[in-house]
């Protein structure tokens, strides 16, 4: 008998805890050292994707894309605006929100709430090569990202069990980090 989706999630996390103790980071399993897992990937992915779709890249859009791709952590719209205005003072809040909306409609960025650890703010991040899990400390607010082949397998199981083609996947896990447990 196949596992239901909720049982599969529980089994996945038990397996991940065991395997995390047993394996080093590999392409099948990566954990961020800071808040973003794909921070060391070369910039330009968003520009290439928009260009390939025939979308005009204004100077202001290029600045916003650069800000988002170079971010060491998840940024909200206000932080994106603040950083972008340091590069081009003509960028407005409307331009930021229109660009965010454009990127979301084309499936190039995700909007996150990060367990509302930082209030009701929403954060934006560009997609990496694979989906990942956000792991947040509920006390200090530290966020890390985890990619795992097990997560990919779980999504396949859920798709099969529920008869759905998964096009969006967002998973957030909260707990206490090692520093906060001391």
Mean predicted lDDT score pLDDT of the chain: 82
1 has pLDDT over 50: no
Looking at the structure, tell me whether residues 99 and 146 fall in a common domain.
no
Looking at the structure, tell me whether residues 48 and 114 fall in a common domain.
yes
CB-CB contact of 38 with 128 (8 Å): yes
The CATH number that applies at residue 177 is 3.30.1490.190
DSSP β-ladder status, 143-148 and 133-137: antiparallel
Residue 182 belongs to domain spanning: 1-40+128-182
The number of domains in the chain is 2
Looking at the structure, tell me whether residues 179 and 120 fall in a common domain.
no
The pLDDT confidence band at residue 61, using thresholds 50, 70 and 90, is very high
Tell me, what's the pLDDT at 6?
A: 53
Looking at the structure, tell me whether residues 81 and 146 fall in a common domain.
no
Tell me, what's the pLDDT at 33?
A: 65
pLDDT tens, 3-34?
A: 455 555 554 454 444 444 433 445 666 776 66
CB-CB contact of 134 with 123 (8 Å): no
Of all residues in the chain, the percent with pLDDT exceeding 70 is 76
2 has pLDDT over 50: no
The CATH number that applies at residue 113 is 1.10.10.10
Looking at the structure, tell me whether residues 62 and 118 fall in a common domain.
yes
118 has pLDDT over 80: no
């Amino acid at each position: 008998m196949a596992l239901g989706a909720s049982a599969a999630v529980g089994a996945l996390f038990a397996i991940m805890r065991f395997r995390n103790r047993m394996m080093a980071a590999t392409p099948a399993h990566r954990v961020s050292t800071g808040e973003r897992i794909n921070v060391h990937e070369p910039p330009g992915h968003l520009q290439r994707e928009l260009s390939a779709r025939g979308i005009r890249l204004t100077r202001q859009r290029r600045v916003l894309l650069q800000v988002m791709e170079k971010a060491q952590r998840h940024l909200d719209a206000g932080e994106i605006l603040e950083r972008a205005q340091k590069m081009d003072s003509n960028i407005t809040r409307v331009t930021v929100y229109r660009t965010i909306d454009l990127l979301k409609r084309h499936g190039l960025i995700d909007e996150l709430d990060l367990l509302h650890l930082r209030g009701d703010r929403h954060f934006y991040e560009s997609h990496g090569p694979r989906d990942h899990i956000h792991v947040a400390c509920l006390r200090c607010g530290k966020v890390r990202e985890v990619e795992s082949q097990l997560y990919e397998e779980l999504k396949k199981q859920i798709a099969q069990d529920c008869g759905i083609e998964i096009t969006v996947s967002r998973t957030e896990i909260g707990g206490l980090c090692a520093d906060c447990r001391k």
